[in-house]
A and B are shown apart, each in its own frame.
Chain A
């Protein structure tokens, strides 16, 4: 499977648009991603290890919040997309 890296995070992922991993769940894929590119972690996760509220993760076209969140199963050929929400005040 492939993880699509958003433009804003590419500087922390070797400037790559996507990275491929073998993983069984979304959580495992993101864990591998942030292990390989440790600088990504603080932008994707809070200090207590939760995915930040403005970080949206899709498997193909489906938001994992409406699936099994980080336990969502993935299979060969799936694409995980990290899509930002932009928020402020």
Chain B
């Protein structure tokens, strides 16, 4: 299954990481418009 995430911040990276951890067969692609993912404010 192909799971695409638009936005690589708190919600996006939390979902991507946990989904991949729980099901290694998932294809997970994160599209992030900036050069930074998962920053914390």
The answer to whether A and B interact is: no
- Which A residues are closer than 8 A to B by beta carbons? none
